[in-house]
Structure 1
Amino acid sequence: MNPTPWLARQAQRYLNPGLALVASIALLLPFSYSALAQESRFDGLEYRSIGPFRGGRSAAVTGVPGENNLYYMGATGGGVWETRDGGANWKNISDGYFGGSIGAVAVSEWDPNVIYVGGGEVTVRGNVSHGSGMWKSTDTGKTWKSIGLTDSHHIPRVRIHPRNPDLVYAAVMGHLHGPNEQRGVFRSKDGGEIWEKVLYIDDEVGAVDLVMDPNNPRILYASSWRIFRTPYTLSSGGEGSALWKSTDGGDTWENLSEKDGMPEGTLGIIGVTVSPVNSERMWAIIENENGGVFRSDDGGETWAKTNDDRNLRQRAWYYTRIYADSQDGNRVYVLNVGFFTSSDGGTTFERVPTQPPHGDHHDLWIAPEDATRMIVADDGGGQISFDRGNSWSTYFNQPTAQFYRVTTDNHFPYRIYGAQQDNSTLRVLHRSDGNSIGERDWAPSAGGESGHLAPHPVNPDIVYGGSYGGLLERLNHDTSESRMVDVWPDNPMGYGAINIRYRFQWNFPILISPHDPDVIYAAAQ
């Protein structure tokens, strides 16, 4: 007896139609003889995009000097993207070669045909993804070649010598969940064929930022960071976290963290930048009990704290990026939940006049020849400004959304549900009566950005959705009635684990019983 048809019928009986297909496929796999016989049924299936075209997180962007409309963006789950019209349209240029999480994108100033990409984002969330090492293109992204550092997992910075596209540096964080040797600052003198480790602390400390002096490429600044992540802990900082300087292209390094004016005690993540107007002026933003923004006017020999506003340094492990203006020696930018700028050398900061259309900012590129032209990376993708942040391009044209979970309902045509990171939940029709699936076919649903969703099997307009903190919402799409049905009626945000009645994971599961649609399960602890 071939058990496959019977198992498939049970899946169709107890699961909704969309998941029944997936379950049927999964059930076929153990029976190799049946799998071979059935294989032709699925040969014609192809993936198609059904949206939403609402950008997901990016931590790596760059432009090209002298090319006003050309920019690149690395998505945390969608590879490398290019726009040639100032952000009006985006096109993926890495599909077929690599994809996934991108940590750094760099274009050679000397030869803009040469692009280097480092895999693995710097935003070390609990749901972080790692990359696949270094990649290189010599034809503006038409083709790519893997060039090593495949055990690096996270490469948050790549820097290229301004007059030699074969001389390239990579800041490598390494594994987040345990020790490994491939971390620190690496250098290649032959375009990525051979990599040498030029700054190494130990197998638990990686490099998180890397800056080349715009006026002297022999001078490099790097920050090292001890970072460790598990599903239930985050440890940022400790022995080995420091700020470093090299004056010989990376052959030797000096620890600037021990200089006068630097904060004492445990150091965490450090961001660093150098003014192109005056190489002696540099800034660092430092995670420390007495941290904040620090400035040096003598190339790092002495430092002074200029600002300790918590708005600039909250949740340091997720942000801590600082950028000098390309034409104004007193202007500097800091990225955090908000996008901040200072015009007095880092003493006072204010929000950029018009904030980018999405929050949580992670990277910034400023055109060297025109400081009003920039691109920012945030939890909504990449957005471009031509007027120093007074207006921005949209992120509603980037199909790079990062979804935690996907499910379907029993509606006809069935709808697909998902929760998008740092946005809302959505339900999307799998087919439309129009020419394409568009915004009219998308709708917000129950819960929040991190939640599981559970549509009612009998009435699919009733949806249960979760979010972090144990939030659990029952939403009736037909009547617009929303009701909170949390397991425990308390908001645990800000509490320590010892004071929380039930400890719900960021992405805790929610399920409706296949035997009784009135029975709902939600899992904590």
Structure 2
Amino acid sequence: MKILSLVFLITALLQIVKISNAQELNIPGSIYNGVDSTISSRKPFNREKWFYEQRMFPNNYLPKDAYSKALSQRDEMRKQNGYYYNDYTPSWINLGPTSGYYFNYGYISSRIVTLAIHPYNHNIIYIGTANGGVWKTTDGGISWNPKSDNETSLSSGAIAIDPMNPEIIYYGTGEATYSLASYYGRGLLKSTNGGTTWTNYSSDLPSLSYTSRIVIRPGNSNHLLAAMGNSGLYRSTNAGQNWHLVFSNRTDDVVFSPTGDTAYASGNLGIVISTDGGATFPFNAGGYTSATRNHIAICNSSPNILYAAGYYASNPNETKIRVFKSTNHGEFFYPVAVGTNFEGKQAWYDFYIHVSPHDPDLAFVGSIDIWRTTNGGDNFYNITNGYNGGNVHVDQHNMAFHPVDPNIVFCTNDGGINKSTNKGDTWTNLNQGLTLTQFYRIASNPSNYLHILGGTQDNGTQRTYGSIDWVAAFGGDGGEVVYHSVSNQFMLGETQNNGVKRSMDFGGYWVSATEGLTGSAAWIGPLISHPDSNGIFYTARQQVFKTTNWGANWFPISSGTTGTIRELAISKSDPEVMYASISSYLYKSTNMGYNFTSVTNGLPSRTLTSIQVHPDSSNVAVVSFSGFGTNKIFKTTNQGNSWFSIAGNLPDSPVNDVLIFYPGFFTSTYIAATDVGVFVTDDWGTKWRELTYGLPNTVCMSLDYHDFTGRLRVGTFGRGVWEFNILNTISQIATGSADNFELLQNYPNPFNPSTVITFKLPSKQKVKLTVYNTLGEVITEPVNSMLSAGTYNVNLNMSGFSSGLYFYKIETDNFSDTKKMIFIK
């Protein structure tokens, strides 16, 4: 890649910089290069490209052991150093969405990839989610519980339940995206107690796995087959403990006949058949032509009937999906529903075929919508119409049938899970209670900590005013979000590729705000507020844009570049100082963005993911990077003239965001959101520790710190938003039983802004300490956890609240007391 150069152009109206040779990520041999335009133009492809290429760069692959090494480094850090905040401190608290609400689709969670129904207790259902792990319901979908939050991978591919012993669950990790990249699958997880605990079997499976289907041989539960996409077909004969490769050709799907003697696998070999329980596949089905992606289904009540469907990427849009049927046990397939347009233009991403186990004439094709035949394939009709008012979210991923009731069918898609009790005529969703949202970015209202806005994958930009049930502000894939620093009722958000929206009423009503914006944009475009001037926001595409009227229109303050600008930052103490990044290159302006100079020297060749300027000094900035194999956080104390690493002992994992902790005064504390957790340092980056416990093992994408209340929020890529009050901490100052329960008067009192509350416990108790204002409203809850007997100090910081009289109340099973305190600024 060329070294970027700056060419300064001066006009009569303003000075403009041209970053003339700046380019987007350029990875020779990238799996995303040279893809057919019918695929590369689709939204799922572009967001995946954005997500994975920054993790691969500068390589054209994900290092196969990099993620497992990062997890091991994190786990060793936990073992050696524990968490930064001790066990008495409240853990991360989930803020939802539980669930979200997305216009005509109703309640949504996020993409659900796979599901399995208990063969005997039909109220028990397991689902596998995009990056939120396994969830289980025992009441038919009324409520859900996560079952794998702390396992090695929360990226789901397939789930299978042993019919001989339904307590045995197999969970194949790694979502099968069919584009040669998958997010950190780690082989197979097996549970023998209904998902309570899991054992990871990965030594014989691909180190970066993705799993399309796992099937258990009827009559012999020790025998399993796993379709592992581009890695081929694998077989186990000892209930998943060991695996061997049957063949290496790409395998998209696999099914057993009801007897278990015959197995069918579909992939780039077409449809191949085994008559020895999956040990070998010497036979090819006639009549079926191998496609880019291939799926197969068998009717258990009539096993002579099979359906197959292929996604043919090079075909015109109207014939990209073709459906076939066999009536002679798979010996020969013939085309059905010829001429039907199944909306297959992105079936590399959303595609399946399933047939009812009760009725061989009832079959379904999933693509963008669900297509159904009730006459054995003669005709298929769209029964969901998600883009035309239907209540089933678009982009279908899987389907399962009730084991006994032929009318009940479940489907999963980009919005979650739906259920039909009439073979698909109508649908209800089962998403309430699921916390699976994949957030790109989050932001809190500076003047009201209850107001949170976040851009999500698949499900628009979601907002909450304090409830764990969020609602959509607007649709599309979301992106960056920002409140104006001074007038917080003015907000900006965006759809994919910097489709900017604005609200002038705290997010109640949104309109398009792209007037004046031109050029290509990054998948997630930057949006920032001027720190102290009303009306001013900045964004960027192939140049930096500015608005002085809250986004009503924009004008450029830099001229074009061949790359797209991913990150922007502005100094709070000196708004003349700004930074912009393209790929791994960083630029600085000292005149409000009109001229830029390169400050890349000393930084690694990795994708830059965030820029933070110290609130109290424009000389100090911190930047973070994605990828593997080098340090990921760097700091400057001279506006980028030189950089030094502050990554210390951080795990070698992509760092997605970094935050300078500034509670109104200089600290040596920085916080980093990574693919393996949230970490903190209080010694300028020499030593890092995991912040605190309770966060699921998912990707942490975006940090937000609410200055007034000390609330740190993290937006995860698969488990919603989580919060930790970093200012209010608790420590045990004496062990052993106290004589009595006691709540002491805070000290000092009056105070500004911090005080210490002490309480004593004579026995182990669940303790809740709550602070109220004079209206009886809860303003913070610094303690809500199980504590051993002893004496405890709670450090309470009230810097975000107004002066006045407050009350603090302690509650246990056996004791309650309330006292007054006075905060004077």
TM-score by length of 2: 0.50
Q: Within the alignment, does 1:210 sit opposite 2:210 as a pair?
A: no
Given the alignment, which residue of 359, 378, 381 partners 1:347? 378
User: What is the CA distance between 1:422 and its match in structure 2?
Assistant: 2.0
Contact preservation (8 Å) 1:511, 1:522: no
Contact preservation (8 Å) 2:362, 2:373: yes
Q: Within the alignment, does 1:311 sit opposite 2:342 as a pair?
A: yes
Q: Within the alignment, does 1:50 sit opposite 2:95 as a pair?
A: yes
User: What is the CA distance between 1:108 and its match in structure 2?
Assistant: 0.7
Q: Please give the residue correspondences for 1:20-169 in structure 2 after superposition, counting only pairs within 5 Å.
A: 39-40=84-85, 44-54=89-99, 55-123=109-177, 129-148=183-202, 149=205, 151-169=207-225
Name the counterpart of 2:529.
512
CA distance in 2, matches of 1:381, 1:347: 30
CA distance in 1, matches of 2:186, 2:499: 35
User: What is the CA distance between 1:350 and its match in structure 2?
Assistant: 2.2
Unaligned 5+ runs, structure 1: 1-35, 175-182, 225-239, 490-500
Size of the aligned set, in residue pairs, is 438
Most deviating of 460-469 and 368-377: 368-377
Name the counterpart of 2:698.
none
CA distance in 1, matches of 2:502, 2:87: 36
CA distance in 1, matches of 2:395, 2:124: 23
Name the counterpart of 1:466.
494
Unaligned 5+ runs, structure 2: 1-80, 100-108, 543-563, 565-825
The percentage of counterpart residues that share the same residue type is 25
Q: Please give the residue correspondences for 1:392-471 in structure 2 after superposition, counting only pairs within 5 Å.
A: 392-413=428-449, 415-429=451-465, 432=466, 437-439=467-469, 442-445=470-473, 448-471=476-499
User: What is the CA distance between 1:362 and its match in structure 2?
Assistant: 0.8
CA distance in 1, matches of 2:507, 2:526: 26
User: What is the CA distance between 1:166 and its match in structure 2?
Assistant: 1.9
Q: What letter corresponds to residue 270 of structure 1 in structure 2?
A: N
CA distance in 2, matches of 1:450, 1:358: 16
CA distance in 2, matches of 1:108, 1:168: 10
Given the alignment, which residue of 310, 328, 332 partners 1:298? 328
Q: Within the alignment, does 1:366 sit opposite 2:401 as a pair?
A: yes
CA distance in 2, matches of 1:313, 1:407: 36
CA distance in 2, matches of 1:97, 1:60: 18
Contact preservation (8 Å) 2:366, 2:398: yes
Contact preservation (8 Å) 2:491, 2:507: no
CA distance in 1, matches of 2:293, 2:116: 22
Contact preservation (8 Å) 1:407, 1:418: yes
CA distance in 2, matches of 1:336, 1:342: 14
CA distance in 2, matches of 1:461, 1:116: 49
User: What is the CA distance between 1:343 and its match in structure 2?
Assistant: 1.0
For residues 41 and 326 of structure 1, do their structure 2 counterparts lie closer, same or farther at Cα, with a shift above 3 Å needed? closer
Tell me the secondary structure at the aligned position of residue 56 of structure 1: coil
Deviations 1:328-373 (A, max 9, x none): 1211111122222101111211244896643322111113433223
Q: What letter corresponds to residue 261 of structure 2 in structure 1?
A: R
Contact preservation (8 Å) 2:235, 2:279: no
CA distance in 2, matches of 1:353, 1:192: 37
CA distance in 2, matches of 1:478, 1:450: 17
User: What is the CA distance between 1:398 and its match in structure 2?
Assistant: 1.1
CA distance in 2, matches of 1:416, 1:125: 34
TM-score by length of 1: 0.76
Deviations 1:293-329 (A, max 9, x none): 1112223333221124223533111122001111112
Q: What letter corresponds to residue 332 of structure 2 in structure 1?
A: T
Q: Which protein shows a greater Rg?
A: 2
Q: Within the alignment, does 1:330 sit opposite 2:374 as a pair?
A: no
For residues 199 and 457 of structure 1, do their structure 2 counterparts lie closer, same or farther at Cα, with a shift above 3 Å needed? same
Normalized per residue, the structure richer in helix is 1
Contact preservation (8 Å) 1:79, 1:98: no
What RMSD, in angstroms, separates the aligned Cα atoms of the two structures?
Answer: 2.9
For residues 278 and 413 of structure 1, do their structure 2 counterparts lie closer, same or farther at Cα, with a shift above 3 Å needed? closer
Name the counterpart of 1:377.
412
Contact preservation (8 Å) 1:473, 1:482: yes
User: What is the CA distance between 1:393 and its match in structure 2?
Assistant: 4.2
